[in-house]
Amino acid sequence: MPISLPPGRDQDVGLQRITSAELFPAAGVPLHVNKPMHVGDSALHDHEFLEIAFMVDGHAVHRTIHGEQAVGRGDLILLHPGQWHAYEKAHNLVIYNCCFGVDLLMRELAWARTDPVLGCLFPARLPAAADRAKRSASQGVMALRLEGDDFTRCLAELEVLRVLLRGTDTALARGDIVAHLLLVLGLVARAAAADR
Q: What is the mean pLDDT of residues 100-114?
A: 93
Query: What is the H or E stretch that residue 91 is in?
Result: strand 86-100
- Has residue 2 been placed in a domain? no
pLDDT at 81 over 50: yes
- Has residue 112 been placed in a domain? yes
What CATH code is carried by the domain that includes residue 187? 2.60.120.280
Average pLDDT, the chain: 87
Name the band, by pLDDT with cuts 50, 70 and 90, for residue 194. confident
Domain that holds residue 107: 16-195
- Has residue 1 been placed in a domain? no
**Cβ burial 55-91 (10 Å sphere, 16+ → b, else e):** bbebbbbbbbbbeeeebebbbbbbbbbbbbbbbeebe
Q: What is the mean pLDDT of residues 67-93?
A: 96
pLDDT number for residue 138: 41
Residue 138 corresponds to which amino acid? S
- Has residue 8 been placed in a domain? no
**Cβ burial 28-53 (10 Å sphere, 16+ → b, else e):** bbbbbbeeeebeeebebebbbbbbbb
**Cβ burial 128-142 (10 Å sphere, 16+ → b, else e):** eeeebeebbeebbbb
- Has residue 10 been placed in a domain? no
How many domains does the chain contain in total?
Answer: 1
Interval 120-142: pLDDT, tens:
999 876 665 445 444 444 458 99
- Has residue 123 been placed in a domain? yes
- Has residue 178 been placed in a domain? yes
Q: For 18-27, 79-88, 102-111, 141-150, which range has the lowest pLDDT when averaged over its residues?
A: 18-27
- Has residue 22 been placed in a domain? yes
Task: State the burial class of residue 22 (Cβ atoms within 10 Å of its Cβ: 0-12, 13-18, 19+).
Answer: exposed
Interval 12-51: pLDDT, tens:
447 899 999 999 988 889 999 999 999 999 999 999 999 9
